[in-house]
């Protein structure tokens, strides 16, 4: 199907974006990679009369790393993250290859994925595991909020109509070395998650968990941070017994819906299996770094 007719603007500065958002209000939509918005327009699930293509804005497609953390521009494409080197943030490189297919990854952006707020999307889960925040800008100024504050409901975020998501901020790991896994069950290659589990664990040299984050895709109406499970882990030694306890806890978190991808019961079980599998792989990796 063809989308409705629309006017197209390609501003080069944020000021121009703000002007267009003010001028057209609800009639306008921001266009980033177009990989969610354009399919919705073709299906007539969205019919904006104005598209504001932010692809020409400078400074939003790069990353900056400091001692405090990593700042990722909203226009970073999934593919650029997949091929980047993220020594202190291995979950980024673990997650990106799981998103869709190469065509979508070449165009889609991290900011667009977060703004679209699909509960089954992969970045939501991964960035919750990394305790990330987002920076949102408008003519009035910049505000920053945690991702948990940002995701309000199914396909709904805290973005106001005249705001734009500009950056994702990931805090630096404080102690130890970070180990990460992204596990995803999909019906076929390139599909959205039946269940996705993102795990990031900072381990000290004696195997104590200094920090842990677990994010889940498709386990709730919004991407979910598994706080109960991570609270079981932090401060403990990573052992098979602890992994078992954490995976049983993860199974109880979330409130997935039964749908064409699987029953709620199946999704709960897969969350348990993925937490157990991911943490076990991390334990094995940590042990091999100790014996090397």
| Closest distance to ligand FAD from the beta carbon of 51 (Å) | 9
Q: Whose Cβ is closer to ligand FAD: residue 158's or residue 234's?
A: 158
Q: Whose Cβ is closer to ligand FAD: residue 35's or residue 247's?
A: 35
Q: Whose Cβ is closer to ligand FAD: residue 95's or residue 178's?
A: 95
Q: Whose Cβ is closer to ligand FAD: residue 106's or residue 208's?
A: 106
Instruction: Report helix, strand or coil for 189.
Output: coil
Residues that bind ligand FAD (CB under 6 A): 29-37, 39, 74, 99-100, 104, 108-109, 111-113, 115-116, 121-123, 159, 164-165, 190, 192
| Closest distance to ligand FAD from the beta carbon of 234 (Å) | 27
Compute the half-sphere exposure of residue 192: CA atoms within 13 Å on the CB side of its CA. Answer: 19
Please list the alpha-helical segments (H only) found in the chain. 14-24, 37-42, 78-82, 90-95, 102-107, 110-116, 122-129, 147-150, 227-233, 240-252, 264-291
Structure tokens of 264?
Answer: 């709620």
Q: Whose Cβ is closer to ligand FAD: residue 32's or residue 209's?
A: 32
**Long-range Cβ pairs for the range 249-253 (8 Å, 24+):** 250/197, 250/214, 250/216, 250/226, 250/274, 250/275, 251/275, 252/228, 253/216, 253/219, 253/224, 253/226, 253/227, 253/228, 253/229
Q: Whose Cβ is closer to ligand FAD: residue 32's or residue 238's?
A: 32
| Closest distance to ligand FAD from the beta carbon of 57 (Å) | 9
| Closest distance to ligand FAD from the beta carbon of 182 (Å) | 11
| Closest distance to ligand FAD from the beta carbon of 123 (Å) | 6
| Closest distance to ligand FAD from the beta carbon of 113 (Å) | 4
Calpha distance 263→194 (Å, rounded):
10
Calpha distance 30→214 (Å, rounded):
30
Please state, as a whole number, how many other Cβ atoms lie within 10 Å of the Cβ of residue 131: 19
């Amino acid at each position: 199907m063809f989308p409705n007719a629309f006017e197209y603007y390609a501003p080069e500065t944020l000021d121009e974006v703000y002007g267009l958002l003010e001028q057209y209000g609800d009639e306008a939509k921001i266009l980033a990679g177009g990989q969610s918005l354009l399919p919705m327009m073709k299906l007539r699930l969205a019919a904006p009369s104005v598209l504001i293509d932010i692809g020409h804005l400078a400074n939003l497609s790069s990353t900056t790393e400091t001692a405090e953390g990593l700042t990722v521009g909203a226009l970073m494409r999934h593919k650029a993250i997949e091929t980047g080197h993220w020594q202190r943030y291995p979950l980024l490189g673990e997650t990106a290859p799981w998103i869709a297919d190469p065509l979508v990854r070449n165009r889609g952006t991290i900011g667009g994925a977060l703004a679209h707020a699909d509960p089954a999307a992969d970045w939501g889960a991964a960035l919750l595991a990394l305790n990330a925040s987002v920076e949102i800008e408008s003519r009035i100024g910049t505000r920053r909020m945690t991702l948990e504050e940002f995701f309000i409901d199914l396909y709904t975020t805290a973005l106001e109509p005249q705001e734009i998501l500009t950056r994702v901020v990931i805090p630096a790991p404080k102690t130890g070395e970070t180990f990460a896994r992204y596990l995803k069950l999909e019906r076929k290659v390139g599909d959205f998650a039946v269940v996705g589990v993102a795990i990031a664990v900072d381990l000290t040299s004696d195997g104590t968990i200094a920090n842990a984050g677990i994010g889940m895709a498709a386990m709730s109406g919004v991407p979910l941070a598994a706080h109960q499970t991570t609270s079981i882990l932090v401060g403990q030694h990573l052992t098979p017994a602890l992994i078992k306890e954490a995976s049983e806890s993860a199974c109880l978190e979330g409130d997935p819906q039964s749908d064409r991808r699987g029953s709620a019961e199946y999704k709960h079980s897969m969350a348990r299996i993925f937490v157990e599998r991911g943490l076990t792989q991390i334990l094995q990796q940590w042990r091999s770094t100790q014996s090397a």
